[in-house]
Structure 1
């Protein structure tokens, strides 16, 4: 396939038959998988599509190593497009970059949103017509998954229904009739089209035809769904029978739609579905955290629902910052007046008012919008008693005690919608001129509409001021809430109102969330810092008030601005006892994590510290190591807070207990940082032993990124431990020095032998075995391989007495390496086979064994298998973030490819791996890479 020019004009069509053009010429894709991947990404322009969603869309049956398969498919698609930057890898998935005018879906969305903000109905009709004109045909042949096709089709039908509604209001009923007849045939279960056809016929005076349409609709609905027509069709049927208007004066009290309303397409569509008039009153609670835009959304939705509620649209505000909360008694008076009841006839008692309102609303189709309800009792007396009406309620709480209602929680905007909101408020040119600062501004505002509206208001006051100025002021977490305030709008005041409505235990719980990571925590952690309970009731209370949000896997998080508010209100109390309680729980749980990790870790034994009281631990729903991985952020956060509180010994012990397990998940830079924090705190307290142990742990974590830095730290640790008389720590440090120098291809036999000598006289058998293993590695590097083999066999017998399978597996791997050096491929193969059963779920061990097995397969002439095995090893280390190990795997992948005849890729990979390892200060495999490059140069 001819590769397209990167600078060519692109056109992606998703609305109907899928196609791609570049430079005016169609681009064909031979692979169905490529078409599906590209179409799925285009269905979410500018958004990160999770890898799991892409895999489910592409393959009917999830393949083995699905993530790897997706990586390969993305690479192929990039090559097919000829534009490597078009599809970008993001944390958790992929995102496609689409410029203005390239994708018809973006144009459609822009036009339909513009239609919502049109100054008049004629302009709205024109914009919707233009948007609908982008659809070429139906989606039957689209490569999209069924769910994606249905979502696109729903967007089209929603826009189409609204355009027809406008046609009818503009007196174009005769023109609409033929189109509506086609639509009712194609979508017979969509009652809205039947209702619009009846209205059109009714407007043209064709009452008999309208009655026939009703009969057809009723028959279809009964046969297909077993239901009677809804209230709208029944009322149109009655109107067609009588051809008379009812005696009712419709009143619209809705505030004007806000011009800078953006996004929320799916939510608006969902509100429309839930408030479709029916036999019973439709009741919907739109709820969410303060400032999330509930009122604006409700007003927008209510305007779109006007045609469905022709008897009136009433609006009542239930809270005013000057006059406070409106009572149910006051609300009823307001609604009775809206119904047309004279003020002198409004009953005096609340019960009588409620009965009068129900009588006024009987058999009517009125939409009630009740804004900012505090509790169910405030609005329950105002609910209609018969079907046909709709009630749209906004609240800061879920109002679970309101019977018969549906609930829809509103989340903050996405970044793209936040940017569009800024465009509306301060101008797109100004936003694009500082795009990075604009995106950071949205992030610092938590994509919360109220915060963005405040930021936009402040920026509009100073049109010449750069966005970076406000961004810089918002970066400070201590003052961010102070900055998010302007003339009648204040994020802190909005949050304080919700906080003030909480019960006392929930208020305490919100304050204690300041001790927990913003990335998420489980209920037990909130209980541990609050009242010692399991935390479930506390989580429910805060979630019901939208101050916590679920984030998957029974975890919860606070929105960034809520977290800052929690820190504010917590600053006046001493939270040290709460932190102590949580730390004690984690120390006890850490013991379990370390007992499991002891099967595959070769770290220093944990620092003993002081004894702590026994605590009741929450039940585990997974193995301790998996628990540690899941609670990584919590563990690191508490270690850091323990240092801040001056508890360096407990912080050191918790790190020693859990960090070996956390190594399995990568993130070595963060682990090195927490060790550095412990070392600094311990030194400030004059505890040199704890400080140098933490530095040793930092050197271990740094090995994945910077071998030279690790060596310098190990050298300093060895000197310090010798002065402190810490024999076991000295052996580990000397072993680290020897290993780093080995990685830099500067074998230090003297240091390796010294580590063994000290280890032989010490009590720690693990330290002794590790020192012997490193000595054997060093002997191999100085061509004393047979001596290395003898040491490895002897040490393996000693290691067999320990319960550390990974240590035995590591010795077997070294024995296999030594056998390869001696040309004994069968022994190497057998050693790998013996090591495999000893793997204990440690992905590092698996990665190293796969790397070695690839070398064995290459030596056996099985080059394809060797390349596949090396790729698996590389993928494991890449996922772990171990750059050094991943680059080492590339060396052996290049070796397998070279022997297999794929010389070009082999040379490229060898050069890449050599350069990466040099950058990290690890050059032990440089000769292997240089051999491939030298042979390639000779061949050329």
Structure 2
């Protein structure tokens, strides 16, 4: 807080003498008599102005300080309040209106705050320590104990209190420097009780006791300070307290060995990790060589807590001492190897005056000190191996347990154990121990979600538990609701002394600039996982493997399995992913997304070239006038398998491209890869992707792309809701006719006719119109697809021989197009028509012709198996027919095609009924009928009713 000094005024005779007290107890006097200012609002106004004497305080700041809830007309309310304050003071010129705010006019002798700051200024310029102490003492006497709550706002009150405590700490420091420790000790004991989180007072109390020769009491004070800081803030004492502790330990000056345990206390609510504790005990068993173990993992995963628990369990095996050194302090920063060696030598009993000045000499002295001893060293939060190596013992018998955010691969002869987030019920157990098992049990579902939102990280869970423990009446669901918002989740995971973001920041700052950039750019990659090449693509084409190694070595990435083409996939922990989102700027997102999109568009062309023999959909969209970016890539061995492995990445990039305003590129990428992805099922996900493109295209005024995306959504929705697909196809047909998009119109009309056929409402007029329109276009796939649907419609109208003629003609043209799924589909329709005509041999032959065309196409393979089951039933091979139908049902179930899976059940029921298993046949027929009815597909309803009736009669 800056105070504007004023000169002492020369008061005219008869001038009233004012005295304003702000330091401690607030009061106003005029000529020695108290001025009554009863209104709390008036007191707050005057106190806030006095906290900034002779300065203009902005009106908004005054409003915020005075009212907890801002008045509707704040300006007028403040004006009225000032007017009434002037009346209460009886001095209209004391509070003056200024542009933008108000100012109180006071002389130095009138306001204790001005006197206080003036004395502090004099203390800084004092010629010696005695004069400085006298000025500070005089300044501190101006403070009085407040008998009532201060009318000051929290910020001003805190700033004034900080001024007082800073002055008090300096005066006590002067007392200690001038041999007044006996006087300072009682005062410091009171201060540590009133301000337990100010490490400076604890340090001064330790120093006073140490100077007074009370080393044991100094050590006890350290223990008290450490306990308070651990309980309240979850941190260890800072460097000054630790150095005083080490000095107190070696106070005898003899250098004689004394076993010392410096371990922080274990925690009562430690959960899980039993397997890792057992492993650490095994790795740290004393042996002929020094045992060195690195416990590493992502920020907040509980490395330090685990190391302390393990060290306590190992105490008896290291009877010569258990030393603990924190290598990072949030105030003092990183501990150097030089500083660490000093701490350890002091812990080993070496007098401070005998500690060598050079780092190398200190390292040698420590090795000598530890020779033939059995000491366990716990070195917490090492940032690099160089910080630790000089402290490694040179002989066997000792052990070193290091915790780090990095793997410290260059630490010699070290064994490493990576710590993962809590698993199983451990997160629930931790919450139960922090806030009570009854409270967790009462909201068990929300407790489980809370653990998930915290990523099962102990630090995050401890923060959540601390917040909940402060408010026993609060529901877990209220905190869960706040944590659900990813934009503010990291803000919520913070409490005094503990903060997930701060822990992540410390790790981030330790990365190289390329690794920092790579972490930021993971913001455009899916959290489900990504391969190394994708990280390289978003990082300006960098070496993805090396970047993966750098981030994995800092526990910011974790492997999450190997995909079907043998790539190891990696993911960021959910909270790390949110941190990367926070860090990523537009300069990170836009270039990285553009490069990744260009790579995927190039790969998409490879995928489509392979999938073209399977797809009967619209040709991929080509943005008009767009010059595709050239990306130099090694060709894929199996593009379709690659697309399946990268499904989540592809769809995530489509979504982000839409958000970035690149809907045309998003549409093209979707058209290139979705035919291959369609073979893997997940139709609801594909439909959602098409909807995202449609929304983005409409927002940009691009109707053609929007309606093409709607067409694709209808295709994907056929597996779930035939009626909905029909409605969408009808809307698409109307739009494409209006836009003059002939090929798209033909496909849409074919879709309408197909849906109506599936709903047992054959629409010959629409099917014939689709063929006529397709005949006039250049897309022969559209013509063949429309012709096949026309043939299916004719079969439904008992005009099977006409359908066979169309199918034979269309099969010849399809064979020339080299679209294997289309040709196979026509063979299937020929087989179905042959069955209707009673020609089982022709149907079997058509199925055999279709089979070789469907290698790697599970969806069409499922339909062929369904038809083969019908052929086998017609051949009285009921067991084979049932087995074939079951396989078809399994394929469609795995793909998520509920409509196809239900239709397979009908033919399975038919085979079972004919084979004599009437009970299961009836149950399956009923199940299939209900499932298809729910999806609006009634084409097989008569078959289901026939089987159900016959099977029920037989039962």
TM-score band by shorter chain is 0.7 to 0.9
Deviations 1:6-33 (A, max 9, x none): xxxxxxxxxxxxxxxxxxxxxxxxxxxx
Distance 1:300 1:493 in 2: 24
- Of the candidates 593, 599, 607, which is equivalent to residue 585 of structure 1? 599
Residue matched to 1:569: 583
Provide the secondary structure at the position in 2 that maps to 1:801: helix
1:720 lines up with 2:735 in the alignment: yes
| Mapping 1:8-27, distance limit 5 Å | none
Cα-to-partner distance string for 1:800-857 (whole Å, 9 max, x where unaligned): 1011111111111111111111111111111111111111301101111111111111
Confirm or deny: 8 A CA contact 1:806 1:840 kept in the other structure. no
What aligned pairs does 1:461-860 form with structure 2 within 5 A after superposition?
461-553=470-562, 554-571=568-585, 573=587, 575-609=589-623, 610-619=625-634, 622-860=637-875
Contact 1:863 / 1:900 at 8 angstroms: preserved in 2?
Answer: yes
Given that 2:684 and 2:717 are in contact with CA atoms closer than 8 Å, whether structure 1 keeps it comes out as yes
Superposition deviation, residue 570 in structure 1: 1.2
Pairing 1:332–2:378 present: no
- What does the per-residue CA deviation read over 1:683-723, in whole Å, with 9 as the maximum and x for residues that have no partner? 12111111110000000010111111000000000111111
Q: 1:357 to 1:248 in 2, by over 3 A?
A: same
How far has the Cα of 1:904 moved from its partner?
A: 1.0
Counterpart mapping for 1:307-346 below 5 A: 307-346=316-355
Alpha-carbon separation, structure 1, partners of 2:319 and 2:737: 88
SS in 2 for 1:368: strand
Post-superposition offset of 1:498? 1.0
Asked if 2 retains the 8 angstrom alpha-carbon contact of 1:708 and 1:920, the reply is yes
**What's the CA shift for 1:903?**
1.0
CA offset at residue 622 of structure 1?
4.3
Contact 1:277–1:389 (Cα < 8 Å) also in 2: yes
| Residues 775-796 of structure 1: CA deviation (Å, up to 9, x unaligned) | 1111111111111111111111
1:56-455 matches, cutoff 5 A? 249-455=258-464
Q: CA shift at 1:449, angstroms?
A: 0.7
- 1:614 Cα shift? 4.0
Measured against aligned partners, the alpha-carbon deviations of 1:499-545 in whole angstroms (never above 9, x if no partner) come to 11212111111111111111111122122122212322222211111
CA-to-aligned-CA distance 1:893-923 (integer Å, 9 cap, x gap): 1111111111111111111111111111111
Task: For residues 466-524 of structure 1, give each alpha carbon's deviation from its aligned partner in whole angstroms, at most 9, with x where no partner exists.
Answer: 10000000010111011000010000111111111212111111111111111111122
CA positional deviation for 1:561: 0.7
Matches of 2:891 and 2:885, distance apart in 1 = 10
Offset of residue 615 of structure 1: 3.1
| Cα deviation, residue 307, structure 1 | 3.0
Alignment: residue pair count: 694
CA contact (8 A) 1:590 1:658 kept: yes
Instruction: Tell me what 1:868 maps to.
Output: 883
Please state whether the residue corresponding to 2:417 is helix, strand or coil.
strand
Q: Which residue of 1 aligns with 2:241?
A: none
Query: Once the 2 structures are TM-superposed, how far is the Cα of residue 340 of structure 1 from its aligned partner?
Result: 2.7
Q: Distance in 1 between matches of 2:817 and 2:613?
A: 9
Answer whether contact 2:906 2:924 (CA < 8 A) is retained: yes
Aligned CA distance change for structure 1 residues 299 and 841 (closer, same or farther; 3 Å): same
1:266-325 Cα shifts (integer Å, max 9, x gaps): 222222222222221111111111101000111111122223323322111111112211
Alignment gaps of 5+ in structure 1: 1-246
Report SS of the residue matched to 2:374. Answer: coil
Task: Kindly name which structure, 1 or 2, has the bigger radius of gyration based on alpha carbons.
Answer: 2
Checking the alignment, whether the CA contact within 8 Å between 1:524 and 1:618 is kept in structure 2 is no
Secondary structure of 2:388's aligned partner: helix
Which residues of structure 2 form unaligned runs of 5+? 1-255, 563-567
Superposed displacement of residue 873, structure 1 = 0.7
- What is aligned with 1:930? 945
1:399, 1:437 → 2: CA distance? Answer: 38
The answer (yes or no) to whether the contact 2:922–2:952 under 8 Å persists in 1 is: no
Q: Is 1:906 matched up with 2:915?
A: no
Q: Deviations over 1:329-362 (max 9, x none)?
A: 1111211222233333322222111111111212
Structure 1 residues 839 and 572: alpha-carbon distance in aligned structure 2, compared to 1, 3 A threshold: closer
Displacement of 1:250 in angstroms is 3.0
Alignment CA distance shift 1:618-1:249 (3 Å): farther
Q: CA RMSD in A?
A: 1.4
The answer as to 2:925 corresponding to 1:916 is: no
Q: Distance in 2 between matches of 1:787 and 1:278?
A: 89
Return the offset for 1:858: 1.1
Question: In 1, Cα distance between the equivalents of 2:444 and 2:636?
Answer: 44
> Per the alignment, do residues 622 and 287 of structure 1 end up closer, same or farther by CA in structure 2, a change over 3 Å counting?
farther
Q: Provide the rounded CA distance (Å) in 2 between the counterparts of 1:323 and 1:640.
A: 45
- Looking at structure 2, the residues matched to 868 and 305 of structure 1 have their Cα atoms a distance apart, in angstroms, of 61
Match in the other structure for 2:149: none
Partner SS for 2:870: helix
Superposed CA deviations along residues 713-769 of structure 1, whole A, max 9, x for unmatched, are: 000001111111111111110110111111111111111111111112221111111
> Aligned pair in 2 of structure 1 residues 572, 671: CA closer, same or farther (>3 Å)?
closer
1:858–1:866 CA contact under 8 A, matched in 2: yes
d(CA) in 1 for partners of 2:823, 2:628: 36
2:323 is paired with a residue whose SS is strand
Question: Using a 3 Å threshold, how does the CA distance of structure 1 residues 844 and 381 change in structure 2: closer, same or farther?
Answer: same
- Once the two structures are superposed, residues 207-266 of structure 1 have per-residue CA deviations (whole angstroms, 9 ceiling, x without a partner) of xxxxxxxxxxxxxxxxxxxxxxxxxxxxxxxxxxxxxxxx96432222111111111122
Q: Is the contact made by 1:274 and 1:284 (CA closer than 8 Å) also made in structure 2?
A: yes
Over 3 Å counting, the alpha-carbon distance change for 1:907 and 1:442 in structure 2 is: same
- The 1:367–1:612 alpha-carbon spacing in structure 2 relative to 1, beyond 3 Å, is farther
Instruction: Work out whether residues 629 and 661 of structure 1, in 8 Å CA contact, stay in contact via their aligned partners in 2.
Output: yes
Structure 1 counterpart SS, 2:402: strand
Q: Distance in 2 between matches of 1:813 and 1:621?
A: 32
> SS at the partner of 1:408?
strand
Change in CA separation of 1:937 and 1:556 when aligned onto 2, cut-off 3 Å: closer
